Structure 1
């Protein structure tokens, strides 16, 4: 099936190929904004196409339906978050500092990807069972990343004994709650919030509280 917005049939020239990729990204950007502003249920494909500057037929060339667009937004966000956390957990020799890096990086993600966080929390319910299972698999990978690192800290005696499943869920709950109360226009910066929440979470886990002057990714101390 030829892209309706490609002027000539056949193998696209490099410039045409770039436009093809740009159109897909334009659809995802327009859909992300529409789902964030109006919710998945109220966002129409014709409006997404108009915002992206393409025809509705072109949307169907790139995606089967609106549900596949939603899935793509969520999975691409999840993949990006997973890679960011993986990098944060490998960035320091000290395992406690690595966990701090991951917590702070995750929190900063809630600012830079605020729209995607809202879409995941409010619109994932619109995915069918099979697609929802694919998203859950990615969520489990992120969950496992944290739990594996916590297990390492527990084995070395750095954090308290206990079941790490509720601990990891609690960590996720604190970070996800930011979407409901953090407002970028307020004086309290996300960098400062990241540092303070990292302190709170670490001091609740460690056998000894994290040092007051421990290095952190961003912001001043209270």
Structure 2
């Protein structure tokens, strides 16, 4: 497979438009059910015109996926790594990732399901980047366990569950729904941390004292 340039989308570029359109079609119809002709027809260009920008459907999928992972790196991983406190880091990981997953119609976020369609070298590169994110989340949970903050759960299972919850968001979130993207992201974080973390000792003592005064 030829080298594919990382997708950094200038908003008005034709290449970016192709990626956005293809991501939405892959999301709506499924990668396997979408042809290059379908994408070209939606864009109002010929197949030859599409091949001018991307040599294959696989190259297009790879570039879209790489762009999604670039966003996770820049908007989720990098800011989270700057936080020393593991609880604050975990909260930011959840909120920021959930925010990305609910932007637009979440087409790019859902394309993680289509990674299997990539040629082995490209799939390996994507999976390595996905693994780095997984390891950051799991490592944060291990830190919390060492500090006595994590409930009696397996960090690996908890990490898969947490990431899976976020990746499922685009399937049910509605832009015009009752809750905004920000509200949903914060709710997911509250549910996740509430279920994974033990209450701080000071909070527990305060609750017991309050109960004793009733």
Matched residue, 1:116: 108
Q: Which of 118, 123, 131 in structure 1 is aligned with 2:122?
A: 131
Residue 30, structure 1, aligned to residue 21, structure 2: yes
Consecutive unaligned residues of structure 1, counting only runs of 5 or more, are 1-18, 212-222
DSSP-derived class of the 1:43 partner: coil
Q: Which of 66, 81, 86 in structure 1 is aligned with 2:57?
A: 66
CA distance in 2, matches of 1:45, 1:80: 25
Q: Give the number of the structure with larger relative contact order, counting CA–CA contacts within 8 Å between residues 6 or more apart.
A: 2
Matched residue, 1:156: 147
Shift of 1:126: 2.8
Aligned-residue CA RMSD in angstroms?
2.8
Consecutive unaligned residues of structure 2, counting only runs of 5 or more, are 1-9, 204-214
TM-score by length of 2: 0.75
Shift of 1:115: 0.9
Matched residue, 2:173: 182
Shift of 1:93: 5.2
Alignment length (residue pairs): 191
Q: Which of 66, 72, 77 in structure 2 is aligned with 1:81?
A: 72
CA distance in 2, matches of 1:26, 1:56: 15
Q: Which of 36, 60, 78 in structure 2 is aligned with 1:45?
A: 36
CA distance in 1, matches of 2:146, 2:165: 24
Check 1:159–1:72 CA distance in 2 against 1; reply closer, same or farther (3 A cut): same
Summarize deviations over 1:37-89 as a string: whole Å, max 9, x none. 33323333234335445543243233221111111111220221122222331
Deviating more after overlay: 44-53 vs 60-69: 44-53
